[in-house]
Structure 1
Amino acid sequence: MIDIKEYYDKEELIRLTQELVRIPSHKDVPNREKEVAEYIHRFCIENGLKSKLQPVDGERKNVLAYLEGIGNGKSLMFNGHTDTVPPYKMTIDPFAAEIKDGYIYGRGTVDMKGALACMLITMLAIKRSGIKLKGNIIFTGVIGEEEKSEGTEHIVKSKIKAHGAIVGEPSNYEYAIGHRGLEWLEIKIKGKAAHGGIPHLGVNAISKAAKLITKIEEELYPKLEKRYNEYMGPSVMNFGRIEGGSQPSTVADWCSIKIDRRYIPGETVESVIGEYQQIIDKLKAEDPEFDAEIVRMPNNMLTLDHLYLMTEPNELIVSCTREALKEVIGREPDITRRRGWTDAALLSSFGNIPTVVCGPGDISYSHTKDERVPINDLVNMVDVYSRIAMKFCGVVE
């Protein structure tokens, strides 16, 4: 196999990562990912890659770039998001892309503009090498992963097809073939207001919420502890936010509990919601004054459920990723078994594209006050991605 490092300059990779980081693309920027998408599009065109902008939401666009093979091999999708979380409370300049001690610092370095740069440089290096792939490489730089995954949902609905995909979330030389599904739920408890001096005339929604929380802990937690998947870990939940009432001297006539629920194969959106509903119904039967409803939070998703990812271990994209990592790091790579939700689940569940999560850097730096990515990881991931592409797409001898 060729040494891909001969066909690109390390400084080119560093510079591209820095330029992407220097373009703010979080939710509080006007037009959000517009500018960074246009930069990627220009970069591709200027370097001889076919590229187009795909409108998704107003000025917000996906970037689709192509390295075409001869047409008789498997097509590979590189998928990464162009948005980041906001840079507030960072202890470094979020958009300076400063280099220090072998790292590039800044918002989006590891999550995941560094991966975008690796994917693009991989495609350019293969093109420059003169290697003829049998199958195509499709780069999808998508909007909105940090919010509702509008970009990858649009990719799926636009019927873009591939035989396998890599999502470049940071994996620290590991790879993931499974992760839990994600559901955000709100339970709204209704009470009856009354003056604090005569609380017996009211129904305290906060008090009722406390009973509900206790009931969930007693009845649901033990069930979740027994549910486990080899490739994504246990089924879990978290009480993430509670609020209610208006002031200390008024009986609270409302309370809201917001829940993060991570579920695994054997569970569905319906079964997840149903378990909470059963507890609500039981409390209603025990207490005529208990009144609550459960709703799915609209800011968790657009229209497609955030299902779990489960790519079968015997899929070609899995073996190609494992082999490529092993060749680069010199040992058998580990499988990541407890990572957060990613767009890989949309590609797999709704696009029917077997998908693996693998990217440069350590997820522990994602969203942090001093986000960073090792330059060495970027270089190595170009090597990994190139090997995956050649193994998966096939090379004309």
Structure 2
Amino acid sequence: MSSPASQDVLALTAELVGLDSVNPSLVPDAPGEHAIAAFVRDWATGCGLSAQTVHGPDGRPSVIVRGGRGGSGSAGWGGRTLLLCGHLDTVGHGSRQASPAAVVEGRRLYGRGSYDMKAGLAAALVACRDAAAAGISGQVVVAAVADEEHSSTGIQTVLNHVWADAAVVTEPTELEVAVAHKGFVWTGIEVIGRAAHGSRPHLGINAITHTGGVLAAVSELDRELASRPPHPLLGHSTVHASLISGGSGESTIPELCTLTLERRTLPGQSVEEAEADIAGLLDRCGRDQPGLSTRTRTLLARQPLETNADEPVVAMMLDAATRSDGRPRVPAGLSYWADSALIAAAGIPTVLFGPSGDGAHADIEWVDLDSVLSCTRALTILACEFAA
């Protein structure tokens, strides 16, 4: 089935962008998802869809929208269930983008969250509505989730309430069908020194100076990772230093320097492998810098995604995307992490597909409006045929 994209998806995108939903775990006192979750719930019920609000352990809301007559596990009805997932929260407003209001210039819609990822969420909601109106015997479920930009508490809560035969996460993919993305491991390192007066440095151990050797070793590890065999869709694993702090005063030899590393992992690479690489790095540093003392811990880890190309949702999403704009597709990979990995870990075959644009987490963010229409067409085709 082909379906013209509803032009009202553009108005819905603008309304979603106009609702400030900055994640309070990233920006203290930010509003979070309460207002936008209430809007999505009311929009869905106003369209004749069912909507359920669920709250995570932090009390933040996610909304589960359902359309169709049944789906997997529903008494009395057949048909499959397709899960479409998008997040409600955004990062903070950039220095040049202080207002959440959407602004349209030509075929671009500007505003925080326009690209990452309220346009993709709007496309999912409209596809669910239109598939339900087409009379599918299965079910389309939209998970509009909280907290993707920090700890993914929203999708983890939603997965306690939802099961599906397949899923599409509508993160921005430039209208490519992604079947793989990287994971990550965040490692905290404390370099331990000994405080002393700045006029008597021989009595102390400078933790910041020792950290310099660790940073050089991190760069060496990144180069070594680039020499390992690449993933065919994702390239190489990487590691970089992302946060650093140390010292207590201008005239004090610093007794502590803390460093955070981010390792981007490939399918098949484990958290333990990443931890072993860091342990080996620090062991080499210790041999080069006598007296180096460190403590490490894994702060957060998320696994990569790799969906088998034989899964029906892969071929069907590729076909729907091609039919939406006439451009042939092949499976793609993404450098970033998304909630898709958690959905796949729950046993649901998952791909990613979303609109085009630029500026995720940047000062200026925009989404291409024509791509939003194409994305909506493709998701509607998929929803009508997968959940037929």
TM-superposition CA deviations, 1:302-345 (whole Å, max 9, x none): xxx41101111111111111111111221222543342110001
1:40 matched to which residue of 2?
A: 40
Which sections of structure 2, spanning at least 5 residues, go unmatched?
A: 71-76
Counterpart for residue 16 of structure 1: 12
Q: How does 1:180-329 map to 2 (within 5 A)?
A: 180-218=182-220, 221-284=223-286, 289-297=291-299, 300=300, 305-329=301-325
Q: Give the AA of the match of 1:55.
A: H
Alignment pair present for 1:142 and 2:142: no
For the structure 1 residues 113 and 195, does the alpha-carbon distance in structure 2 shift closer, same or farther, using more than 3 Å as the test? same
CA RMSD, 1 decimal: 2.0
Going from structure 1 to structure 2, the CA distance change for 1:338 and 1:52 (only over 3 Å counts) comes to closer
**Corresponding letter in the other structure for 2:340:** A
Normalising by structure 1, report the TM-score: 0.89
Q: Deviations over 1:157-212 (max 9, x none)?
A: x1521111110111112121111111111110000111222212211111221222
Judging changes above 3 Å, is the alpha-carbon distance between structure 1 residues 215 and 108 closer, same or farther for their aligned structure 2 residues? Answer: closer
1:310 aligned partner, one-letter code: E
CA contact (8 A) 1:34 1:59 kept: no
Task: Give how far 1:46 is off.
Answer: 1.1
Query: 1:219/1:20 Cα in 2 relative to 1: closer, same or farther (>3 Å)?
Result: closer
Tell which deviates more after alignment, 37-46 or 99-108: 99-108
Matches for 1:54-133 after TM superposition, within 5 Å: 54-70=54-70, 71-91=77-97, 94-128=99-133, 131-133=134-136
Letter in 1 for 2:384: M
Are 1:54 and 1:63, in contact at CA under 8 Å, matched by a contact in 2?
yes
The change in CA–CA distance for 1:314 and 1:108 in structure 2 (over 3 A counts) is same
Query: Distance in 1 between the 2:67 and 2:100 partners?
Result: 30
**Residues 267 and 305, structure 2, Cα contact 8 Å, conserved in 1:** no
Following superposition, the deviation at residue 35 of structure 1 comes to 0.7
Aligned residue for 1:112, secondary structure, equals helix
Q: Does residue 369 in structure 1 map to residue 371 in structure 2? A: no
CA contact (8 A) 1:31 1:59 kept: no
**Deviation per CA, 1:216-240, whole angstroms, max 9, x where unpaired?**
4345631443142112221101112
User: Residues 220, 80 of structure 1: CA spacing in aligned structure 2 closer, same or farther, 3 A cutoff?
Assistant: closer
- Deviations 1:39-61 (CA, angstroms, capped at 9, x unpaired): 10011111100111111145521
CA contact (8 A) 1:188 1:256 kept: yes
352-361 or 333-342: bigger deviation = 333-342
Question: SS where residue 259 of structure 1 aligns?
Answer: strand
Q: Which sections of structure 1, spanning at least 5 residues, go unmatched? A: none
Residue 74 of structure 1 and its aligned partner are, at CA, apart by 1.9
Q: Is the 8 A contact 1:233 1:337 kept in 2?
A: no
Alpha-carbon spacing, 1:240–1:2, altered in 2? closer, same or farther (3 Å): closer
CA gap 1:87/1:218 in 2 versus in 1, 3 angstroms: closer
| Structure 1 residues 74-109: Cα deviation after superposition (integer angstroms, max 9, x where no partner) | 210000000011113124x63221221122211111
Match of 1:160 in 2: 162
- Rounded to whole Å, the distance in 1 between the matches of 2:371 and 2:288 is 57
Change (3 A) 1:294 1:224: farther
- Count, aligned residues: 378
Look up the SS of the partner of 2:262 in the other structure: strand
2:352 is the counterpart of 1:357: yes
Per the alignment, in what secondary structure is the counterpart of residue 342 of structure 2? helix
Q: Which amino acid aligns with 1:110?
A: Y
